[in-house]
Amino acid sequence: MDTRFRGVFPPVVTALTADGQLDEVSFARSINRMIDAGVHGLFVLGSSGEVAFSTDERRREIIEAAVRIVDHRVPLLVGCIDTESKRVIEHAKQAQALGADAIVATAPFYALGGMAEVERHFRLIHEAVDLPLFAYDIPVCVHTKLPAGLLVKLGLDGVLTGVKDSSNDDAGFRFLADANKKAGHPLVLLTGQEVVVDGAYMAGADGSVPGLANVEATGYVRMWNAYEAGDWATVRKEQDFLADLMRIVLVPQGVQGYGSGVGAFKTAMALLGVFDTNQMPEPVLPLKGENVERVAEVLREVGLEPAVSVDAVSASAAVREL
């Protein structure tokens, strides 16, 4: 197992200016805040890093900014998310050229296929780009669940370095961890579920990739340290706190999916003064008004007092009428 990739690796939420450009100042503020909190690495251009919304040019800007800001303090993983192999490989080559320490790719999506294509897809990416490769298991987005047997086989063959599991299939994750252990632990197993990291650690995860760490990283670092020390009572206490905070994604009303999920992250970050705006990528709209207030309320309930007013956040992002 490649031990560089153990620990807390937040998927970095992308900061936008009021008019939708990359906001490098806010982006740096957030990244530095997470590194200062003690995270072990960072993952840009994941699902919550708005990879699907970003043009190739925007993706390049994000990688360049991240490489410059991180400056080798921690390993930087870069999401190379696209429909099929050749498109993914182009992103991967660019990520390598710009300084990524590892790349992350999903199963193919859009076109229908079977596991033979999924396996060949990862082999093609590995063959094309000489960087550690993580499989990103996210069936809610790509509608394919990566089977444990295939993942371990690709780990043993040196194709995959690890797995970023966002499958919300905790039984499957346990079986994967068990199979990985039996095979000599070739894969680094990172869980992408914010509120059940404790269970994933119980199952033997090597780390986590919690989007919520953009709002509050210190809890995830304390949870990891407790896990390393075998202090499960603290693991549980920290997870309870973070699950309580995660309610920010449940409280927005009249908004679904990305708009309430990453929308709530950005809104909380703007309320805490980390981001200058809670702007979202088109066609998603930023949270406004009462939804900002609902997020603020959760922050207050868990003891994170907003530094910026609800009104200011609500006014921070432009929305063009169509």
> Residue 288 catalytic?
no
Q: Which long-range contacts (CB under 8 A, 24 or more apart) does 149-157 make?
A: 149/179, 150/115, 150/118, 150/119, 151/176, 151/180, 151/187, 152/176, 152/179, 152/180, 152/183, 152/186, 152/187, 154/119, 154/122, 154/123, 155/180, 155/183, 155/186, 155/187, 156/183, 156/184, 156/186
273 binds a copy of itself (CB under 8 A): no
Out of 6, 29, 33, 58, the residue judged to bind a copy of itself by CB under 8 A: 58
User: Residue 133, exposed/middle/buried by CB under 10 A (0-12, 13-18, 19+)?
Assistant: buried
Q: Is 209 annotated among the ligand-binding residues?
A: yes
Q: Select 32 or 83, whichever has its Cβ closest to a copy of itself.
A: 83
11 binds a copy of itself (CB under 8 A): no
User: Which 3 state secondary structure label does DSSP give 131?
Assistant: coil
110 binds a copy of itself (CB under 8 A): yes
Q: Select 233 or 305, whichever has its Cβ closest to a copy of itself.
A: 233
Q: Select 64 or 117, whichever has its Cβ closest to a copy of itself.
A: 117
Q: Which stretch binds a copy of itself (CB under 8 A): 69-77, 97-105, 250-258, 265-273?
A: 250-258
The residues in 153-192 that bind a copy of itself, with binding defined as CB under 8 A, are 168-171, 173-175, 178
Q: Select 75 or 314, whichever has its Cβ closest to a copy of itself.
A: 314
C-alpha distances (whole Å) from 247 to each of 43, 102, 214, 294 are: 23, 31, 15, 10
| Dihedral angle over CA of 172, 263, 212, 209, nearest 10 | 50
CA proximity to 79, closest of 61, 55, 52, 97: 52
> Residue 136 catalytic?
yes
CB of 113 to a copy of itself, least distance (A): 4
Q: Which stretch binds a copy of itself (CB under 8 A): 21-29, 109-117, 129-137, 270-278?
A: 109-117
User: Which structure tokens are listed for 101?
Assistant: 């320490």
Out of 184, 282, 307, 309, the residue judged to bind a copy of itself by CB under 8 A: 282
Tokens 């609902």, residue? 294
Q: Write the CB contacts of 196 (distance below 8 Å, at least 6 apart in sequence).
A: 170, 239
Out of 53, 98, 156, 315, the residue judged to bind a copy of itself by CB under 8 A: 53
Out of 25, 36, 120, 158, the residue judged to bind a copy of itself by CB under 8 A: 120
87 binds a copy of itself (CB under 8 A): yes
Q: Select 70 or 151, whichever has its Cβ closest to a copy of itself.
A: 151
Q: Write the CB contacts of 140 (distance below 8 Å, at least 6 apart in sequence).
A: 166, 167, 168
Out of 253, 256, 303, 305, the residue judged to bind a copy of itself by CB under 8 A: 256
Out of 1, 150, 285, 304, the residue judged to bind a copy of itself by CB under 8 A: 285
113 binds a copy of itself (CB under 8 A): yes
Out of 37, 196, 302, 315, the residue judged to bind a copy of itself by CB under 8 A: 196
CA proximity to 21, closest of 284, 277, 269: 277
- Residues belonging to the binding site for pyruvate are 209
Catalytic residues: 136, 164
